[in-house]
Amino acid sequence: MQIRDIATAPMRGQNAGTSGLRRKTRDYMAPLFLENYVQAILDGTGGAAGKTYVLGGDGRYFNAAAIQIILRILAGNGADRVIVGQGGLLSTPAASHLIRKTGADGGFILSASHNPGGIDADFGLKYNMANGGPATETMTAAIVAASEAITRIRMADSADIDLDALGAVAIGAMQVRIIDPVADYLALMEDLFDLDAIAALIAGGFTLRFDAMHAVTGPYARALLVDRCGASPDSLMNATPLPDFGGGHPDPNPVWAADLMGLMMGPDAPDFGAASDGDGDRNMIVGRGCYVTPSDSLALIADRAELAKGYRRGLAGVARSMPTSGAVDRVAAAKGIACFETPTGWKFFGNLLDTGQITLCGEESAGTGSDHIREKDGLWAVLMWLNIVAVTGQSVADLMAAHWRTYGRNYYSRHDYEDVDSAVAAVLMADLRGRLDSLPGQSFAGLRVTAADDFAYADPVDGSVSTSQGLRLHFAGGARAVLRLSGTGTSGATLRVYLEQLVAAPGDLHQDAGDVLAPLAAAVDAVAGISGRTGRTAPDVKT
């Protein structure tokens, strides 16, 4: 086998060195784009010689072809061993677990998460470290620097391998092992949850629906919920992974999982509903007639996690991203455990997990997880909820009602203004940022601002500081709003506005969230001038 050095040019200005780069699929298919990015990752992380990697993705368009390219680059750079999911499939949680279990040096995860798939949609690649988590800020900076200095790509001249055939194959001196992508993850779930109790619950007549959204969790859900726990095959919706996710948007929320939501709110609703996203790290939980916000889900899991066998020792602490509601803070305070507020991005939880300061963490964007891996985990959250239901005998609605009676309710919603002109969005945020100091004491649409700041985070483990993580506005009466620009899209800008209103027990805890949050939404629009600046009279998506 020959190794070729392919001449290339630095990728300045393309953000090609970031640890998780999402672009249009055609961008990744362009000559040398993927190759440059992978080589920059290897150069920025000390080279591949003698190392072991995990490799797989969510099955979206270009997944298998990209894996063949990455394998040739790894072989060309002297990697010793690569573990690949059969068919090129690996959910992000399963990949994180494999990295940790096998002692791999890192992993390449091919996914654009919850973004649509297809040749005219989105693709992505991120690098995970030896702890199974996303690259740190320091490592990301090194990859960026490598992408801006790259001049050559080392690639093996080799034929494609059969990604569907289990077993070992060699590419030159590099060994590639094709494994069942589900087996190791299923074994981990057996260790964490009482799957026999869930099976007994289902055998007793408990009904459920899980929407895999034609994404990677279909095979995992079939193995866990149907084969292991005895649910009917009809319990699974859209369970076959497709390169374009069936033309859908694999984001587990009431908007994009509308069929599931319609079923759960209808007269023939099953007892429990759930969904996961493109790469399997996000989740949506819904009971009969009861949608659970991700923030509330995190809080309830924090309160009841000890009912699952893997968490009977209790929680060392919890963490949430800054835009996530403060519901989990109230649980942590009652239990006397630490609660950390971090920027958005799972990598910020890594140091806290690695040092044992937290056991549980989550984000409002439908991500929840624990110290079992270093990523959020959609099916883990589903099984946690099913375990809690099995032990308590309570429905989802009854569990949430009891939780609110104990802790009060943080009414919460996220308003997304998608594909906003990037310049308009940037000016909106810059203007508001420049006025933060003058806002306290002022009233907008009848609500008085009590505090305002631009969230910054000093990592308590490594001392790194992250600034400009989101604009926080606190209002009298327990209301809070957060504004930030999201980097998860591939065109324009997404302005996210997070709205939160605490209603303490024994207040009216069963009001419509839209009604409760309407005054706050009006105040935020008045503060930031969203409708006037963007021309949008309403958000594109409310979750």
Catalytic site positions: 113
- Nearest Cα residue to 92 out of 55, 135, 130, 41: 55
Helix ranges, 128-207 (H): 137-147, 183-192, 195-203
**What one-character-per-residue DSSP string does 38-49 give?**
HHHHHHHTT--T
Query: What count of Cα atoms within 13 Å lies in the side-chain half-sphere of residue 253?
Result: 19
Pairing type for strands 409-420 and 367-370 reads unpaired
Query: What count of Cα atoms within 13 Å lies in the side-chain half-sphere of residue 475?
Result: 23
Question: What are the start-end ranges of the E strands in 79-218?
Answer: 81-89, 106-110, 122-128, 152-157, 167-171, 174-179, 208-211
Amino acid at 77: N
Pairing type for strands 208-211 and 272-276 reads parallel
Chain centroid offset of residue 410 CA: 22
- Please, are residues 503 and 516 in contact by the beta-carbon 8 Å criterion? yes
Distance CA 350, CA 368 (A): 13
Distance CA 107, CA 101 (A): 12
Distance CA 249, CA 226 (A): 24
145-128-159 Cα angle (round to 5): 90
- Please, are residues 533 and 495 in contact by the beta-carbon 8 Å criterion? no
Amino acid at 239: A
CA 332 vs CA 296, 303, 324, 500: distances in Å = 13, 8, 14, 18
Query: What count of Cα atoms within 13 Å lies in the side-chain half-sphere of residue 59?
Result: 29
Gap between the terminal Cα atoms of the chain: 52
Amino acid at 270: P
Distance CA 96, CA 118 (A): 25
- Please, are residues 104 and 83 in contact by the beta-carbon 8 Å criterion? yes
